[in-house]
C-alpha cells in the first residue's frame, strides 16, 4: 500500500484518479481548494478509511509524508482559468515549485498533468511530443498555456539538477461524468444545451477539430505513466486520436439526446486552436496504452450523467 497525494483531487479528473488509486489498494490524500473542484465529486469517498481530504491551495507550501504525487491542480477550462489569469499562472508555476520541492525532500516520484495546450494553435498536425508548439505569450489563454509550459520546464530542471523522479503527461480533451456543467468546455456545453432544448453554441464555422478521450481511458493512461519503467519521464501524449469537427460533435449530441436544439454560430474566441489531434505512438510503445472507449459509447455515459444532474 502506498500513500499517494493527489492535488486537484476534487476536480473532474482528480476525483476519478482518486477512485482508481483507492481501487488499487492505496491510501489517498486528496488536496483541493475548491476553486473548480467540487465536494460532490468526492462525497462518495468520505467514508473510505483509506481516503483523506485536505483543503489547501498549492501556491502555498504543503508538508506531508507520502510515497507519490500526482499534480493535477489547475483550472483547465477557459471560463475558469481566464476568470483569474494571475492565479491560474501562480497555480501552475508556484504549485509546481511547491510540489517538486516536496518530491525532492521525500525522494519520491511525481507526475505532472500537463496539457495539449502547450502546442498552442499548432502548425504541425497531428501533434507529436517532439513538436515545440505555437503559443501566444500575450493572449488571453497564455495564463494556462504558458503556465503549463513553465511547469514542464520546472519539472525537467528539477529532474536534471536535483534528480527528482518525474513523469509528464500531456492531456488532450477529456470528457465524462463529473464534468462541471458550467465549465464552458465543448462536450459539457453541447450536452447541457441539448438536454435543455437551448440553441447549441458553435464558435467560428464549426470546422475546427478536437480529439475526445473518455475519462476512464485518460486515468488508465495516467496510472500507466506513473508506473512506467524507471528513467522514462515523458512528456507523453494521452488522448484519443479520433478527430471530429465541432459540427460533427454537435450533430451527434443532438441525435443522441433526441433534442430539438438548433445551432447558433458565434465568433471564434481569441487564440482558440483550430486543430487538435494527438500522436500516441509513444504511449503505445512505452505504456502499452491506447484508448478503448469510442466517442459514441463515451457520450452515452456522459449524457446519462448530465440528464440525471439536470433532472
The question of whether 223 is a catalytic residue gets the answer: no
Among residues 35, 70, 144, 158, the one annotated as catalytic is: 144
**Beta-bridge mates of residue 245:** 209
3-state SS track over 46-111: CCCCCEEEEECCCCCCCCCCCCEEEECCCCCCHHHHCCCHHHHHHHHHHHHHHHHHHHHHHCCEEE
The three grid cell numbers given for residue 142, joined into one nine-digit string: 497564455
Residue 29 backbone phi and psi in degrees, to 5: -105, 105
Give the SS3 label for residue 22.
helix
Report in angstroms the alpha-carbon separations of 211 from 12, 31, 72, 162, 309: 18, 29, 20, 36, 25
Catalytic positions are 144
Amino acid at each position: 500500500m502506498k500513500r499517494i497525494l493527489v492535488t486537484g483531487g476534487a476536480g473532474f479528473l482528480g476525483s476519478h484518479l482518486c477512485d482508481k488509486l483507492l481501487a488499487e489498494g492505496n491510501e489517498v490524500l486528496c488536496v483541493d481548494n475548491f476553486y473548480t473542484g467540487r465536494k460532490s465529486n468526492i462525497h462518495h469517498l468520505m467514508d473510505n478509511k483509506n481516503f483523506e481530504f485536505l483543503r489547501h491551495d498549492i501556491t502555498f507550501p504543503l508538508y506531508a509524508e507520502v510515497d507519490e504525487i500526482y499534480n493535477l491542480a489547475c483550472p483547465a477550462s477557459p471560463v475558469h482559468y481566464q476568470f483569474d489569469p494571475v492565479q491560474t499562472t501562480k497555480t501552475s508555476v508556484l504549485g509546481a515549485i511547491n510540489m517538486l520541492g516536496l518530491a525532492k525532500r521525500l525522494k519520491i516520484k511525481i507526475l505532472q498533468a500537463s496539457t495539449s495546450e502547450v502546442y498552442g494553435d499548432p502548425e504541425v498536425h497531428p501533434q507529436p511530443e517532439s513538436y515545440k508548439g505555437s503559443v501566444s505569450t500575450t493572449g488571453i489563454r497564455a495564463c494556462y498555456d504558458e503556465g503549463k509550459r513553465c511547469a514542464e520546464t520546472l519539472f525537467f530542471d528539477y529532474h536534471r539538477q536535483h534528480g527528482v523522479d518525474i513523469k509528464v503527461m500531456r492531456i488532450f480533451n477529456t470528457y465524462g461524468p463529473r464534468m462541471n456543467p458550467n465549465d464552458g468546455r465543448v462536450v459539457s456545453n453541447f450536452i447541457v444545451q441539448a438536454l435543455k432544448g437551448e440553441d447549441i453554441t458553435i464558435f467560428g464555422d464549426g470546422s475546427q477539430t478536437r480529439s475526445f478521450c473518455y475519462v476512464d481511458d485518460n486515468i488508465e493512461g495516467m496510472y500507466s505513466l506513473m508506473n512506467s519503467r524507471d528513467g522514462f519521464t515523458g512528456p507523453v501524449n494521452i488522448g484519443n486520436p479520433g478527430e471530429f469537427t465541432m459540427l460533427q460533435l454537435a450533430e451527434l449530441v443532438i441525435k443522441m439526446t433526441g433534442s430539438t436544439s438548433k445551432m447558433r454560430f458565434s465568433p471564434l474566441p481569441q487564440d482558440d486552436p483550430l486543430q487538435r489531434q494527438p500522436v500516441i505512438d509513444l504511449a503505445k510503445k512505452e505504456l502499452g496504452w491506447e484508448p478503448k472507449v469510442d466517442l459514441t459509447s463515451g457520450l452515452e455515459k456522459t449524457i446519462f450523467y448530465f440528464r440525471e444532474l439536470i433532472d
